[in-house]
Amino acid sequence: MTQEKKRILTGDRPTGRLHIGHYVGSLQNRVRLQDEYETFILIADIQALTTHFERPELIRDSIYEVAMDNLSVGLDPNKVTLVLQSHVPAIAELTIFYSMLVTVNALRHNPTVKTEAAQYGYDDMTYGFLGYPVSQSADITAFNADLVPVGEDQLPHMELTRKLVRRFNDMYAPVLKEPQHMLSNCSRLMGLDGNAKMGKSLGNAIYLSDTAEEVAKKVKGAVTDPNRIKATDPGNPDICVVNKYHHIFTEKEYDNICDMCKKGAIGCVACKKLLTESLNNLLDPFRERRAYYESHRDEVRDIINTGTERACVIGNETVRKVKDAMHLIV
């Protein structure tokens, strides 16, 4: 007998193109998991609206960009299901039902909501933004996801989801699946400018869709050991951002590179050239696949539409069970 595959749900907010920080932190993992698990990838456009409601054109364009980013890194459209959040009514319906089971204070104390509110400068936040973790619980439970691969910042949302599921199942009927999280083992990729985070708003991102020349230019501008003046000065790899990137992107040569830096046997310019090569070797196959999808946009739209239709069927079934459990029947 064939065992049914467990289901994964992950998501991205379409507020711009994805960068190599996203690749290292999550996309790479998705590619690895796509054979073993039934994978659903949510393009979370409603969640994007919670912070970018004034920029609907950006969200519209980013839906395609994010879909192409996912496809270009090697997610196979015959294996994974891409889902457009705003086109799954079940998510909106579940969000309303779940909102009765979550207090405003619990949301206000959610550490990720707090951090993001500070980041966006909200001193008074919208109802939609405050409530987005409830909507995320709806994303996850609508499709009976077993596993949710996440970074650490998403853990409060996973806790909320599990609490909600337990409350719902205890109070009404056991119809919702309690999801587990899978913590991504890779820490955040720092910016080449030395900023702790790579981000589009910080202007320090290397995009999956950047050209080889763009990558070379960005790497050239990276900060290295400030005490090194001449190429033959002994360097300190521990305080060099380029070195941290080599650790991830030039794994095989890493020890050798550290050695040479410490001895002053490789200068920063040459070291950066090596990093540019490593990054471009990684990105080249992505660029090739992306070029295909860029010239077959209809195919991208079909992939999103087919996936979303599939997701709607599953979501509607969950809503039916939820309404049943809540005695919302005539």
In the complex, which residues of this chain contact ligand TRP (CB under 6 A)? 9-13, 42, 44, 47, 136, 139-140, 148, 150, 154
Min dist. Cβ of residue 215 to ligand TRP (A)? 24
The owner of tokens 């040569």 is 253
Of 88 and 240, the one with the shorter C-beta distance to ligand TRP is 88
- Distance between CA atoms of 154 and 287, rounded to whole angstroms? 29
- Distance between CA atoms of 311 and 80, rounded to whole angstroms? 12
Min dist. Cβ of residue 9 to ligand TRP (A)? 5
Of 13 and 17, the one with the shorter C-beta distance to ligand TRP is 13
Min dist. Cβ of residue 145 to ligand TRP (A)? 8
Min dist. Cβ of residue 24 to ligand TRP (A)? 14
Of 10 and 243, the one with the shorter C-beta distance to ligand TRP is 10
The residue nearest ligand TRP at its CB is 11
Min dist. Cβ of residue 130 to ligand TRP (A)? 14
**What are the two backbone dihedrals, phi and then psi, of residue 77, each rounded to the nearest 5 degrees?**
-60, -15
Question: What order of strands is seen across the sheet that includes strand 38-43?
Answer: 81-84, 38-43, 7-12, 147-150, 180-183
**Helix (H/G/I), strand (E/B), else coil: 19:** strand
- Distance between CA atoms of 273 and 213, rounded to whole angstroms? 12
Compute the C-alpha angle 310/312/314, nearest 5°. 75
Q: 9: part of which helix (H) or strand (E)? A: strand 7-12
Of 160 and 257, the one with the shorter C-beta distance to ligand TRP is 160
Of 8 and 242, the one with the shorter C-beta distance to ligand TRP is 8
- Distance between CA atoms of 329 and 98, rounded to whole angstroms? 17
Compute the C-alpha angle 320/324/326, nearest 5°. 120
Min dist. Cβ of residue 112 to ligand TRP (A)? 8
**Kind of pairing, strands 180-183 and 81-84?**
unpaired
Of 18 and 260, the one with the shorter C-beta distance to ligand TRP is 18
